[in-house]
A and B are shown apart, each in its own frame.
Chain A
Amino acid sequence: KAGVTQTPRYLIKTRGQQVTLSCSPISGHRSVSWYQQTPGQGLQFLFEYFSETQRNKGNFPGRFSGRQFSNSRSEMNVSTLELGDSALYLCASSPGTSGLTDTQYFGPGTRLTVL
């Protein structure tokens, strides 16, 4: 099976712009989670989608949003970019069938740089 894919892998934006990141989960997986990874804050949970519904949300401002499509692919959007949004954004998919013990499979991430 193909792994989790994320596009683009690298992105450079300027302050005030918006950005959309894409994630294609492993075939058959219905749950997609997003994380932000920075050197200072580590890995922080953004949100989780399951069957097109947001099931969980982390403590991020409303500028961060996401959605999931019927084929389980997911996108996240960040509007009005700030310098502090520079990070590695990781997407993880899981089958969604074992609940809390589900293993999350991570993609390689999208490296976002905000200038």
Chain B
Amino acid sequence: AQSVTQLGSHVSVSEGALVLLRCNYSSSVPPYLFWYVQYPNQGLQLLLKYTTGATLVKGINGFEAEFKKSETSFHLTKPSAHMSDAAEYFCAVRPNSGNTPLVFGKGTRLSVIA
């Protein structure tokens, strides 16, 4: 079965610093990969997704993620953190065949310090 590991339940960065949120998946076949963000009292919003093609994926709000098959990783980055980036971030995977649903990681809470 697919599984997703997000390293670090809480990450704290200074405003203007690099944001790096880690995501590793377990699968013998590269799945489809997604990053979602959840602001307090709201649902999830898609930041970006990787299906096929270019392994560096650009998303909204300046975020990007790189699919690395050899490392089974899909880490999320942003060059310069903004206060408004404080939220919970979820990595999710979906096998690229069959009809299995999205599997989410446990989430990483990002705090941005002024």
Contact = CB atoms under 8 A, between A and B. Distances in A.
Interface of A: 4, 33, 35, 42-43, 45, 48, 55-56, 58, 90, 92, 100-101, 103-109
Given A100-B96, A103-B46, A108 B101 contact: no
Contact of B41 (A45, A107, A108): A108
Contacts of A56: 99-101
A90 B96 CA distance: 24
Contacts of B42: 108-109
8 contacts: A56-B99, A58-B101, A100-B94, A100-B95, A100-B97, A100-B99, A104-B46, A109-B43
B51 interface: yes
Q: Which of B36, B45, B99, B101 has the most CB of A within 10 A?
A: B101
Given A90-B43, A90-B44, A109-B43, A104 B32 contact: no
Contacts of A48: 101
A43 B90 contact: yes
A45 B101 CA distance: 7
B105 A42 contact: yes
B102 interface: yes
Nearest to B52: A101
Given A108-B42, A109-B43, A101 B32 contact: yes
A76 to B, nearest CB: 15
